Amino acid sequence: MGFITKEQILQVGFKNVGKGVLISEKASVYKPDMISVGDNTRIDDFVVLSAGDGGIRIGKNVHIAVYSSLIGKGKITVQDFANISSRVSIYSNNDDYSGNFMTNPTVDKRFSNVEARDVYIGKHVIIGSGSIVLPGVTLENGVVIGALSLVKAGIYEKFGIYGGIPVRFLELNSENVQTELSFAYMSSSLGKPRLLRRGGCHFLSSPLRRLAANAEQKI
């Protein structure tokens, strides 16, 4: 019981899959040839990834927690270091609720009116437990969505904290996670080296060296 092996991951048939990926043996994947998963991403128990024509692209160091789902015909993009908490539902298509069309995937498309819209989740985004993300949503870098929220179509500006049904802007989040902390992490042994160069030598400023050292000590 637990995560499937590297060999089993390759047998799933993903379009692309990175190194250090962890996928629960209880997760469900549909149309894996339309799904890409980046390095060090973790997908937990009972997660459903169901790709449509637009596909699903999951970046590096993404966590998708238990009972969450990414479903739909439109493209779903989840960028690096995003955190999708438990029981989050992300949809990239929607049925027509007007009563003028039939609904659900068992009905021939001639009788339904399914609208597909892309969903984009930026770097360092956090989506709280039990939230729903509807088609046409763009969450820019660093956005935080509070638990049990409904995110309707629209662009949510970077580092904003949002919550409610539907969500409303609450306050701005710190940008440290996007700048100093990310740089320190990627420059430590925990991430891939991305050091600056000066005169042919790699270097980090003193504050960033301390951040990198602290990151290593906490693991």
Are 164 and 149 spatial neighbours (Cβ–Cβ below 8 Å)? yes
Q: What is the pLDDT of residues 14-25, one digit of tens each?
A: 999 999 999 999
pTM: 0.84
Measuring CA to CA, how many Å separate 106 from each of 13, 23, 49, 97, 144? 26, 29, 19, 16, 35
What does the angle CA 86 – CA 120 – CA 36 come to, to the nearest 5 degrees?
75
Q: What is the pLDDT of residues 65-76, one digit of tens each?
A: 999 999 999 999
Structural domains of the chain ordered from first start: 6-172 (2.160.10.10), 180-217 (no CATH)
